[in-house]
Amino acid sequence: MARASKQPPIREKSGNRPGEYLHVLISDARLHRRVRQLAHEIRRDFPKDALHLVGVLKGSIFLLADLARELRGEVSFDFIGVSSYGTGTSSTGAVKLTKDLDVNIESKTVLIVEDILDTGLTLKYIQRLFEERKPKHLRTIVLLDKPERRIADVKADYTGFAIPNEFVVGYGLDYDQRYRNLPGVCILRLSTRKSKTT
């Protein structure tokens, strides 16, 4: 006889379209606590510098907004657009610049703000591009890291949470542009199960 599992059941709830299921991986309260800690670490590392945050559109917007408000001292921000994922949950591998910076980063202390480090191809591309522009310091913060998926040799200086190899949405992260507005980070599971008709 199979032993009853002591693991609590995974609480899964329906997403906003049929066949899409979500369960919370990181609550909004945990996210906010971690972002506050990271803001303190960053300020400790650069106590005097004006920090120029560069958000990678669009997944980083909530991290950037929360981080900017937790950072003391002088802060400015800008955004860059890159496309790496087409649609759905799998990468095409190609990275393309879709929106460049508005402000020159030469001699600035720049913090790249990214939602998730997956294969690392996007971040590698942005880091290379920015290095050529001669910032005073270049650092990277990512909210999430999926180390199992790494292809490019790239590291973030500040990481919110290392997570398992699951597709996640919420707090800026999307599935086909949807679910960015979830306050926490959720695992998204897609089901091809047919609904019962009998």
The question of whether 118 is a catalytic residue gets the answer yes
The Cβ of residue 30 has, within 10 Å, a number of other Cβ atoms equal to 15
Which of 106, 104, 126 minimizes the C-alpha distance to 115?
A: 126
Binding status of residue 59 toward Mg ion by CB under 5 A: yes
| 55 is an interface residue for ligand IMP by CB under 6 A | no
d(CA 43, CA 51): 9
Choice among 45, 66, 115, 118 that is catalytic: 118
Stretch that binds Mg ion, among 33-41, 53-61, 94-102, 147-155 (CB under 5 A): 53-61
Candidate list 173, 182, 185, 186; residue touching ligand IMP; CB under 6 A: 173
- Which is closer to ligand IMP, CB of 59 or CB of 135? 59
For residue 168, the minimal CB distance to ligand IMP (Å) is 4
CA distances from 96 to 54, 84, 129 (A): 17, 7, 12
Provide, rounded to whole angstroms, the least separation between the CB of residue 194 and ligand IMP: 26
Single out the residue of 15, 55, 59, 135 in contact with ligand IMP (rule: CB under 6 A). 59
**Which DSSP letter does residue 177 get?**
T
What is the b/e burial string over 121-132, where b = at least 16 CB atoms within 10 angstroms of the residue's CB? bbbbbbbeebee
Question: Of ligand IMP, Mg ion, none, which one sits near residue 120, judging by CB under 5 to 8 A according to partner kind?
Answer: ligand IMP
- Decide whether 21 or 84 has the Cβ nearer to Mg ion: 84
- Tokens 């657009």 belong to 81
Which are the contacts of 136, defined by CB distance < 8 A and separation ≥ 6? 49, 107, 108, 109, 110
Nearer to Mg ion, 26 or 142 (CB): 142
Given candidates 38, 52, 115, 135, which one binds ligand IMP under the rule CB under 6 A? 115
Active centre residues (catalytic):
118
